[in-house]
Structure formats: C-alpha cells, structure tokens
Structure 1
Amino acid sequence: MLENGFERLVTVMDTLREKCPWDQKQTIQSLRQMTLEETYELTDAILEENWADIKEELGDLLLHIVFYSKIASEKKQFDIHDVAHSICEKLIKRHPHIYPAEEVNPQLIEVQSAEDVKKNWEQIKLGEGKRSVLSGVPNSLPSVAKAMRLQEKAKQVGFEWSHKEDVWRKVEEEMKELSEAVEGGDQLHQEEELGDLMFSIINYARFLNIDADAALERTNKKFKRRFTEMENMARQQDKSLRDMTLDEMDKIWNLVKAGG
C-alpha cells in the first residue's frame, strides 16, 4: 500500500530542495508567475470539465503550496503544517453555525441559507480587523473576476439591487451614457463610460447566476475555433483571408457558424 500521498509529496519536495540545482535556485518570487500559469491551467481544465486534467493541475498547484511552505520553513517563518492548521482555524472561526464559539457575536445572523453564511463570513472578517468588506479582493485579480468579487462582497452588506430588471435598466442607462461620450469625442470619458457599462453587464450576469468570466472565456474559445475553421476553409479554396473582402469572409463565417 502506498504511503500517505501528501506526506510523500512533502518528502519528495524536501529531497528536491536538497539535491536538485533547479529546485534549490527557486524563490517565492521566481515561483510566482509559474503559480499564476498553473492556476489558469486549472481554470481551463475546469471549464472543459476534464477531470483527468483537473487532477493533474490540482497536483501542480499543491506542489507550489508545498514549495512555498518549504522555502518559508528554511527562513524560519512557517511550515506546511502551520499552513494547514491556519486554514483549519479560519474555517472553524468563520463557520460558527457549525462550530459554535464560546462568545456569541450579536452582529451575526441566524443561518438559514448559503447567502446567510456569506454575510456572516464578511461580518467575521470585519471583526478580525478588516477595515472594508472589499479589502479581501486582490489588486492583481483580472478585471472581470475582480468586478464580480467586488459586487459579491458589496452585496453582503446590502448594497445590491432588488430585482434584475433594475440592473438591466442600469445597463441601458450606461449604454446611453457611452453613446453620448462617443458623440462628445473625449477618449478618457469614453473609456470611463465603457468601463461603467461593462461593470453593469457583469452585475446583470450575477443576477442571472452566470459567471461572467466563464461566459466570456467560452465565447473566446468559440471565436477562436470558428476563426481557425474559417482560415482552414479559405485555404481549401486556395485563398488567404488577407486577400478576401469582408463579404467573402462573412460568407465563410456564416458557413462555419451554421456548423456549430
């Protein structure tokens, strides 16, 4: 029977850090970009619901967590066990409906739904010294994902529209303001109004229970697939897209689109 997989990984990491020149050279800074790449590879696998790839990418991310912890232990900061205990303590503290605290927090609401859990979670975070409900949103988070998280967190304190129809009216209002900005010709104003419109559309997506980032990525993938097929069809006709008119390309595009 194989030994515990996690303990095995920690042992392998210890060995690599001791004997492998590449692993010895790595720092938390050199690992950072690779961690981002591994995270995006995981999100790709999740979008495709490819469970084999999800398992592999989770392993890659787990390796990075163990790697960072190994470097931290060498610097006498913390080790992987501290990391695990830390998240356990956080989860216990932020789920008082499962793990009742000795001292009752009167600002927490009785949990009846998943939304109640999220509201209490944010309230507990504020009690831990967070000055704003938005403080936990990373500055480096991609813009679409950041907009979603900002809106979700603002919702936890009641800063939220009541109905999706209200949100759509806001989208229409922002579309009108963008149109007026385009007519005005001020580039910075156009950028600002476009940003407002995109923010409102992302908000509307939330009300439809749609992940705006995932929806946009699916469209990116669909466009890439269709455009590549259009290039292939043009080559089959001994043509290049560069030499074709827009009408000619549009006819091929519609053929590709009809195919799925």
Structure 2
Amino acid sequence: MRPDESDALVHDPRGGMPRLIEIMRRLRDPATGCPWDIEQDFASIAPYTIEEAYEVADAIAREAWGELEGELGDLLLQTVYHTQMGAERGLFDFDSVANAIADKMVARHPHVFGNESRDKSADQQTSDWEAIKAAERAGKAAHGVLDDVALALPALTRAVKLQKRAARVGFDWPEIGQVVDKIAEEAHELAEARASMTEAEVVEEFGDMLFAIANLARHLNLDPEEALRATNAKFTRRFNAVEAALRAQGKRPEDSDLAEMDALWEAAKAAERAP
C-alpha cells in the first residue's frame, strides 16, 4: 500500500477492519512506528488480552451497554495485535485467523451448515459439539485427556474443565453426596492440621479444598466463577451499606466495632430481602 493510500485509510472514519489492521501495521513499523508497540511480543501482550476480555464481561454484567462497544473494540484490538505479530513472523495473518475460526464454526455446526437435522435439544447439540471437538483432538498428535486445557484460564474455571475432561473417561464421583463429603473432609483436615503444617502444605490442602468445591459446582451445573462474582458483588453492596449507615452517624468503620457493623450488615440484608 502506498503511503498516501495508507494515510487515507488510517484517517477514514468508515475504514472498518482494514483501517484497524493498517493502524496496527503502522504502529509496529520498525522505522516509523511507536517504540512501545514495536517492543512488544506475544507474551507481553497476553496479559492485556486477558484483561480486556474481563472488561467486556464486566460491562455485560453491569449491563453497561453504552460501554460495551468500546470494550469490544479494545478486545478486538488484542486480536489484531497478535495477528500483526504473527504476520511479521510468517506464522499467520488476520485473514488466516478469521478463516480458521470460520472453518471451525462450519465444521462444528453440521445441523446449520450441513445436512444434519436441527431437530435436537440444546443438550444434544452440546453433546454433539463435544464429540466433534474430541474427534478434532484425536486427529491431532496423540496426547493425554487433560492436554490442551489452557493454563491461563482462571483457576476455578480450569479446575472445572479438567474435571469435565476426566469425567468423560469415567474418572468422577458418581454421587453428589460424595463430593460434599470430600469438601468436608478437606476442610476438616485443614482446620485440624494447620498448626503442624508447613506453609506449602497449608497452601496445598487449601487448594485441594477449592478443587473439591469446584467439583461440587460442576455437579450442580454451576459456573463457580460466576457464583463467586455474584457473591463478591453482594458483599461489596452490603458493606457499602454498612459504611453509609456509619457515615450517617458521623463515623467510619475503624471507629466502629464488629458487633455494630454486624448489626448494620444484617439490616442491609433485611433491606435487600424486603418486598
């Protein structure tokens, strides 16, 4: 692309994806680009990619629809960033990435793009999806059941995915009561033995308990990350109410005590539950 064509595209408010791709190419130009952008690599950009995905999820959770467009744009920029770096190394480019996911979507939806019937339940579609994914993995180099579960996933989410993979080959508690018993066992062991444990052992035992709790969420068909986010929001909301009640008395939390704050907490709970 000639310099004048590049400038015209970069400043075209309706340039769409070609505009964004060209902007990133210019930012990464070794001679004329931005020094910070030029220095980045896949590893250094990956944390920003994860952060932007969370900000998209946050806008959706808050129903902040006016913010969602911008957050989606920030996330899209991360894809463009990685594809530009891939193109520079001859690994892939934006078109090949887009074509790869398009091919995958067509292959995984034969009931939409092929000859299979759409007359199936959502659960059956999910089962079919997993079967297709399993076949795709089998077509690659042989590997273990738990391979390719992404390491960078949030720990609770990854725990559930690891457990689902193991469950497919029969490695799972058959009854939910056994999962509950395991949580109680892990909690009891940690409470009883913490005084005699090393710090590393305490961390390990606590991790075992969290893993068992994630297993319970899976058996209940719950997303533990979603459940914990909701509880975090509830805690924040109620503690804010405690602070507000104290401010009305000219006090701060550090001027109060547990008994008073607990009473205000219970009042905040009651106010939330009131019809």
Q: What is the aligned partner in structure 1 of residue 7 from structure 2?
A: none
Cα distance, 1:120 vs. partner? 4.0
Structure 2 runs not aligned, ≥5 long = 1-12, 115-122
Structure 1 runs not aligned, ≥5 long = 101-110
Q: What is the aligned partner in structure 2 of residue 153 from structure 1?
A: 165
Cα distance, 1:72 vs. partner? 2.3
Q: What is the aligned partner in structure 2 of residue 80 from structure 1?
A: 94
Q: What is the aligned partner in structure 2 of residue 242 from structure 1?
A: 254
Matched, 1:224 2:204: no
In 1, the alpha carbon distance for the partners of 2:259 and 2:124 equals 57
> Larger deviation: 204-213 or 218-227?
218-227
Cα distance, 1:244 vs. partner? 1.8
Measured at CA, do residues 189 and 13 of structure 1 come closer, stay the same or move farther in structure 2, by a change above 3 Å? closer
Measured at CA, do residues 229 and 16 of structure 1 come closer, stay the same or move farther in structure 2, by a change above 3 Å? same
Q: What is the aligned partner in structure 1 of residue 193 from structure 2?
A: 181
Matched, 1:56 2:67: no
Cα RMSD, aligned residues only: 3.0
> Which secondary structure does the structure 1 equivalent of 2:91 belong to?
coil
Amino acid of the structure 2 residue aligned with 1:64: Q
**1:129 aligned to 137, 141, 166, which one?**
141
What is the TM-score of this pair, normalised by structure 1? Answer: 0.79
**1:21 aligned to 34, 42, 54, which one?**
34
Q: What is the aligned partner in structure 2 of residue 31 from structure 1?
A: 45
Task: Give yes or no for contact 1:42–1:54 (8 Å, CA) kept in 2.
Answer: yes
Q: What is the aligned partner in structure 2 of residue 105 from structure 1?
A: none
Cα distance, 1:55 vs. partner? 3.3
In 1, the alpha carbon distance for the partners of 2:255 and 2:226 equals 34
Cα distance, 1:246 vs. partner? 1.2
Task: Give yes or no for contact 2:52–2:74 (8 Å, CA) kept in 1.
Answer: yes
In 1, the alpha carbon distance for the partners of 2:261 and 2:181 equals 36
> Which secondary structure does the structure 2 equivalent of 1:259 belong to?
helix
Task: Give yes or no for contact 1:231–1:241 (8 Å, CA) kept in 2.
Answer: yes
Cα distance, 1:128 vs. partner? 0.5
Cα distance, 1:238 vs. partner? 1.7
Tell me the number of residue pairs that the alignment of Structure 1 and Structure 2 aligns.
Answer: 248
Amino acid of the structure 1 residue aligned with 2:247: R
**2:184 aligned to 161, 168, 172, which one?**
172
Task: Give yes or no for contact 1:14–1:70 (8 Å, CA) kept in 2.
Answer: yes
Q: What is the aligned partner in structure 1 of residue 208 from structure 2?
A: 196
Q: What is the aligned partner in structure 2 of residue 6 from structure 1?
A: 17
Cα distance, 1:211 vs. partner? 0.7
